[in-house]
Amino acid sequence: MIAFGGPEKPSDIEPFLKNVLRGKRVPLTRIRKVAHHYEKFGGHSPITELTRRQANGLALRLTESGLQLPVYVGMRNWHPFLADTLREMSKEGIRRAIGFIAAPHRGYSSCTQYRENVMAARQQLYKHGLPDIKITYVDDWHDHKGFIVANAESIRDAIKKLPSPLQKFTRIIFTAHSIPQKMPGAKTYSHQVQTTAELIANHLGRTDWAVTYQSRSGHPNDPWLEPDICEYLSTENQRNLKAAVISPIGFACDHVEVLYDLDHEASAVCEKIGLPMARAHTVNDHPKFLDMMTNVVKTTYDRYTKGQPIEILPNNV
Kindly report the CATH number assigned to the domain that includes residue 269: 3.40.50.1400
Mean pLDDT of 5-20: 92
Say yes or no: 79 and 57 in one domain. Answer: yes
- In this structure, are 136 and 155 located in the same domain? no
Same domain for 13 and 137, yes or no, is yes
Query: Does 112 share its domain with 203?
Result: no
Task: Indicate yes or no: pTM above 0.75.
Answer: yes
Domain-embedded: residue 180: yes
pLDDT score of 188? 97
102 and 220, same domain (yes or no): no
Task: Calculate mean pLDDT across residues 175-196.
Answer: 96
Instruction: Give the count of domains, the chain.
Output: 2
Same domain, 136 and 167: no
Mean of pLDDT values over 31-52? 91
Same domain, 117 and 158: no
The pLDDT confidence band at residue 316, using thresholds 50, 70 and 90, is low
- Mean pLDDT, to the nearest integer, of 34-50? 92
pLDDT at 2 over 60: yes
169: pLDDT confidence band, cut at 50, 70 and 90?
very high
Tell me 12's DSSP state.
G
Residue 228 falls inside a structural domain:
yes
Kindly list the distances between the CA atom of residue 132 and the CA atoms of 77, 120, 123, in Å, as whole numbers in the listed order: 22, 11, 8
CB 119 within 8 A of CB 157: no
Q: Is the peptide bond before 70 cis (omega within 30 degrees of 0)?
A: no
Separation between Cα atoms, residue 231 and residue 213, nearest integer Å: 10
| pLDDT higher than 90, residue 22 | no
Q: Residue 315 above 70 pLDDT?
A: no
The pLDDT of residue 157 is above 60: yes
**Count of CB atoms situated within 10 Å of the CB of 74:** 25
The pLDDT confidence band at residue 133, using thresholds 50, 70 and 90, is very high
Asked whether residue 284 is assigned to any structural domain, the reply reads no
Q: Is residue 60 part of a domain?
A: yes
Give percent of the chain above pLDDT 90: 86
Mean pLDDT of 176-185: 95
Least reliable range by pLDDT among 74-83, 186-195, 247-256, 308-317? 308-317
What percentage of the chain reaches a pLDDT higher than 70?
A: 96
Residue 267: inside a domain: yes
Domain that holds residue 24: 2-141+289-303
Whether residue 311 is contained in a domain is answered as: no
**Residue 78: inside a domain:** yes
Residue 50: the pLDDT is 97
Mean pLDDT of the chain: 94
Confidence band for 314, pLDDT divided at 50, 70 and 90: low
**Residues 201-206, mean pLDDT to the nearest whole number:** 98
Whether pLDDT at 313 is above 90: no
Q: Are residues 98 and 206 in the same domain?
A: no
Average pLDDT of the segment spanning 69-82: 97
- Specify the higher pLDDT residue, 37 or 218: 37
Q: Tell me: pLDDT of 89 over 90.
A: yes
* Cβ-based neighbours of 256, under 8 Å, separated by 6 or more: 6, 37, 38, 41, 45, 46, 47
> Do residue 155 and residue 96 come from a single domain?
no
pLDDT at position 35 over 60: yes
**pLDDT computed for residue 21 by the predictor:** 82
- Quick one: 119 and 180 in the same domain? no
pLDDT at position 18, please? Answer: 87
Which of left, alpha, beta for 185 (phi over 0: left; psi -120 to 50: alpha)? left
Higher pLDDT, 33 or 65: 65
Q: Is residue 38 part of a domain?
A: yes
- Distances 169 to 152, 236, 244, 273 between C-alpha atoms, Å: 17, 13, 9, 17
CB contact at 8 A, 245 and 155: yes
Give the residue-averaged pLDDT of 148-176. Answer: 98
pLDDT number for residue 222: 87
Mean pLDDT of 103-115: 95
Same domain assignment for residues 47 and 168: no
Q: Are residues 58 and 160 in the same domain?
A: no
Report the distance separating Cα 52 and Cα 54, nearest Å.
5
pLDDT at 149: 98
